[in-house]
Amino acid sequence: MPHQMPLPPTFTTAPNVARMYDYFLGGKENFAADRAMAEKVLRLVPQVRTYARLNREFLVRATLFLAGEAGITQFVDIGSGLPTQRNVHEVAQQIAPGARVVYVDNDPMVLVHARALLATDAQTRVADADLRKPSSIVGHREVLNLIDWSKPVAVLLVAVLHSITDTDDPRRIIGELCAAMAPGSYLVISHVEQRPELVRAADLYRNANAPVVPRTAEEIAALLSGLDLVEPGLVRLPLWRPRELEMWPEELDAPLLGAVGRVASTRTGGG
Ligand SMILES: C[S@@+](CC[C@H](N)C(=O)[O-])C[C@H]1O[C@@H](n2cnc3c(N)ncnc32)[C@H](O)[C@@H]1O
């Protein structure tokens, strides 16, 4: 029986970022408090559902690139969220059947669902750890069961870095993760960009279990310094190796930036 954390008393009554994202994606793993706050966000930013979908589509394209062209067979998906369609191990194993995936999150409900729905074979594990403490992820028993840090690995930080405040120092976190990654490894990020309506929406997340901190393109680019970005670099998500040539203007203008960076043999500018 997997280890189960006691749930906090406000578990269902306080809005929760993973369950709100699930609601935006059309999922059913959310409660009234999540839906009420998600609706407030939608009033400020009516395109949020599109943005959530674009984020998932980016995650799938990045995973296909990593398992295919980049030849990566081990993945650590941090801030993995509630299981949805086309989870990382399903996408990676489509191309590389031997691919191993560890899902990491610090949300008790995400962990329960991930253990039930994702960690269903020997190649997939779930780890309860906090991104703010990278060493707790790198050295986690479930991670070490599947991941050999001396070989290239892909670490995914998709739609989670904007839950890290400047006080918790996302640059330090990325530096510590990359220091553990073998040369030839890859880091994937997506991040909400700073725009007035998103700053107002982010303010609503003060009442949620994790914050949202929109950052400028320059601030997001600075998080990636020292990594070799694969083409096309840091771009709006629909423009990262698109499969469709036709896109709606609201998609092209989506305030979400993403990139895939390669860890070079000697990394400079680490945190
Ligand atoms: C918006 S969801 C993103 C899910 C998935 N990565 C995606 O892009 O589709 C953000 C996830 O990050 C998790 N998260 C937030 N802060 C975290 C932290 N400090 N450590 C680990 N997970 C965190 C939340 O619990 C949530 O499941």
Please say whether the beta carbons of 234 and 182 come within 8 A. Answer: no
161: CA distance to ligand 1 center in Å? 8
| 3-state DSSP of 78-146 | ECCCCCCCCCHHHHHHHHCCCCEEEEEECCHHHHHHHHHHCCCCCCEEEEECCCCCHHHHHCCHHHHHH
Collapsed DSSP state (helix, strand, coil) of residue 206: helix
pLDDT in tens, 189-240: 999 999 999 999 999 999 899 999 999 999 999 999 999 999 999 999 999 9
pLDDT above 70 coverage of the chain, percent: 93
264, amino acid identity? A
Tell me which of 109, 160, 187, 192 to substitute to probe ligand 1's pocket, judged by most ligand atoms within 8 Å of the beta carbon: 160
103: CA distance to ligand 1 center in Å? 10
Structural domains of the chain, with CATH: 55-195+211-262 (3.40.50.150)
Give the pLDDT confidence score for residue 184 in this predicted structure.
97
Give the pLDDT confidence score for residue 232 in this predicted structure.
98
More confident residue, 197 or 5: 197
pLDDT in tens, 157-192: 999 999 999 999 999 999 999 999 999 999 999 999
Grade residue 271 by pLDDT with cuts at 50, 70 and 90.
Answer: very low
78: CA distance to ligand 1 center in Å? 7
pLDDT above 90 coverage of the chain, percent: 86
CA angle 174, 239, 46 (to 5 degrees): 90
Give the pLDDT confidence score for residue 5 in this predicted structure.
59
Distance spanning both ends of the chain, measured CA to CA: 38
Whether the per-residue pLDDT at 270 is higher than 50: the answer is no
Give the pLDDT confidence score for residue 251 in this predicted structure.
85
172: CA distance to ligand 1 center in Å? 18
Give the pLDDT confidence score for residue 122 in this predicted structure.
93
Grade residue 268 by pLDDT with cuts at 50, 70 and 90.
Answer: very low
Give the pLDDT confidence score for residue 6 in this predicted structure.
65
Grade residue 269 by pLDDT with cuts at 50, 70 and 90.
Answer: very low
Locate the ligand 1 atom nearest the alpha carbon of residue 156 and give its number. Answer: 6
pLDDT in tens, 45-90: 999 999 999 999 999 999 999 999 999 999 999 999 999 999 999 9
Give the pLDDT confidence score for residue 67 in this predicted structure.
98
